[in-house]
Structure 1
Amino acid sequence: MAQAESPGLNEACQTVERKVYKDIRELVTIDLDTASNVEVRVLANQILAAANADSLPILPRVIQERLDGTADDLRAFLTTDLQNAWSTDLRITVVRTLTDAGANVKAAAQKALDEGTIDAYLAHLNDGLYAARELDCASQPTPTPSATPSATPSGTPSATTTVAPTPTSSASLDAPGGEGGGLPVTGADTATVAGIGGVLLLLGGVGYLIGRRRRSRFVA
C-alpha cells in the first residue's frame, strides 16, 4: 500500500503529502512453487491492492484477469511475469513526472529511465522526484509585489475637487464710500417710485391751496 511520509512539493510547488510507492517484492513471502492455491490467491489480492493504491496503469487489470482464471495461470503469472508488468507500470509513472516538469525533475527522471531498473524507478518516484522539485521551485523568481497607489490626503484637495465660489459681500463698489450702499434701482422699480413721488407732490400742492384759503377767510 502507498505510505505517507514527510511532506513534499507537487508540480505547483505546493506542500503536499508525499506518496511512497510500495515495493511489491516485499509482499512475496511465500515459495510460489510449493505454496497452496489459497496462499497464492491471498498473495495476488495483496499485490492487487498495492497496485490499485499506487494507481498503476497495467498491473491491476492483469492480476484481476488471472484471479478470474485458473489457479495454474495465476501461479505462473506471479512466478514469471509479475515483475515485468510491474516494471512497465513504474516506467510509465516515471515518464508521467516529465509533464510540465522543471529542468532538475527532467534530469532526474531521465536518469532513472536510462538505468531502466525497478530500483531506479522506485528511487526516483519516492525520493529523487521530490528532491528535484525542491531545486526547481527554489530557482523560480520571487513574484514582485505591485505598487499600490497612495491615497490622496483628506486635507489636500485633489485635481478634480471643485472649489466653491467665495460669497460676495453686500457692500457694492458703486455705493458711496464703499459702505452700506445698495445697488441703484432701475427698471420697473424706478417707474413705481416716480409715480408715488408724483402723487405725493400733487397731494402736497392740494393741501397747500386748502390751507391758504382757510387763512384768507379767517383774516377777512
Structure 2
Amino acid sequence: MRCKHAAGALIALALLIPAAPAMAQTELPVPNAACQTVERKVYQDIRKLVTIDLDTAAAAELRLLAYRILNEADAHKFPVLAPALRERLNGNADDLRAYLKTDLQRAWLTDLRISVGRTMTDAGPNVKAAAQKVLDEEAVDAYLAYLNDGQHAARALDCASQPTPTPTSQPTPSASPSATTTVAPTPTPSASLGAPGGENGEGGGLPVTGANTATVAGIGGALLLLGGAGYLIGRRRRSSFVA
C-alpha cells in the first residue's frame, strides 16, 4: 500500500518539476510562419534530465525520470518517443530500464529531426536553407540549436524581406450627368418664324405684326368708308321716294 502512495507522489512530482524552469525563464517572443509574434517554445536537452545511474536506480526513480521525459515529449508532440514511453511505463521496471539505456536517445533524435522538418512547411527561403543545413549534419546539438534559436533568426529574415502592403487608392467616381444635373430639353418651335397659322396651316402660329398689320387695317378702313357711303346714299333715295 505504501508503494502505491509513493509511486503516486513521484508521478505528481514528475509533472511539477519540469514546470519550474519554464516559469523561472522569461523567453522573448518570436515570429511564427505567418510572421506573427508568438511565445517561444524551448526544446530541453533530455540528456540533462538523466541525472541518475540507470543501472542501479530503483524502479520509482526510473518511473520518475520517464514521466519527466514524457512531459517534454508531449509538449512538443514527439511522435516516436511519447508513445514508446507510455508503453514502457505500463510494463515492468526492467523493460523501462532497458529502454532508457538503449533506445531513448535514438527515438529522441528521430523526433528532433521530424521537428526540424516541420519548420520547413510554408516557410521562407532562409528557414528552408537553415533547416536543410541542420538536417545534413544529423547531430543532436545542431537540431537543438536550430529549434531553439536558428529557426527564429532565419524566420525573422524572411519576414523582414516581405514587402510591406500598401493600401490601393481607389479612383474617385465621377458623377454622371444624369445623377448631378437635369438636362432640359431644347424647345422646338412648331412653326417657322413669319409663317401664319403654324405648321400645315393650322393654329398655334406666331401673331402677325409689321407691314401685314398695316395692310389689314387699311383694307378694313376702306370697307368701313364704303359701307358708310352706301348707307347715306340709300337713305337719300328712300327720302326722295317718300316725298
Q: Structure 1 residue 21: deviation in Å?
A: 1.3
* One-letter amino acid of the structure 2 residue matched with residue 162 of structure 1: T
**Could you tell me whether the CA contact under 8 Å between 1:22 and 1:54 is conserved in 2?**
no
| 1:197-216 equivalence runs, <5 A | none
- Give 1:119's aligned amino acid: D
Normalised to the residue count of structure 1, the TM-score between the two structures is 0.69
Return the alpha-carbon distance in structure 2 between the equivalents of residues 162 and 6 of structure 1.
Answer: 66
5 Å matches for 1:22-171?
A: 22-150=44-172, 161-163=181-183
Moved over 3 A (4+): 1-4, 156-161, 163-166
- Separation in structure 1 between the aligned mates of residue 58 and residue 178 of structure 2, nearest angstrom: 91
Matched residue SS, 2:103: helix
Which secondary structure state, in structure 2, belongs to the residue aligned with residue 34 of structure 1? coil
Q: In percent, how many aligned pairs have the same letter? A: 66
Gap runs ≥5 in structure 1: 167-172, 175-186, 188-220
Q: What's the offset of the Cα at 1:144?
A: 3.0
In the alignment, the residues of structure 2 paired with residue 12 and residue 34 of structure 1 have an alpha-carbon distance, to the nearest angstrom, of 49
Cα contact 1:102–1:136 (8 A) shared by 2: yes
Structure 2 residue runs without a partner (length 5+): 1-17, 187-192, 195-201, 203-243
Q: Which has the higher helix share?
A: 2
Letter in structure 2 aligned against 1:60: A
- The aligned residue for residue 6 of structure 1 is 28
Aligned length: 187
Please state how far the C-alpha of 1:51 moved relative to its aligned partner: 0.5
3-state SS, counterpart of residue 57 of structure 1 = coil
Write out per-residue CA displacement over residues 10-38 of structure 1, whole angstroms, 9 at most, x where no aligned residue: 11111111111122122111111111111
CA distance in 2, matches of 1:15, 1:70: 44
Q: CA deviation at 1:151?
A: 6.2
Does structure 1 residue 17 correspond to structure 2 residue 27?
no
- Quick one: distance in 2 between partners of 1:107 and 1:161? 64
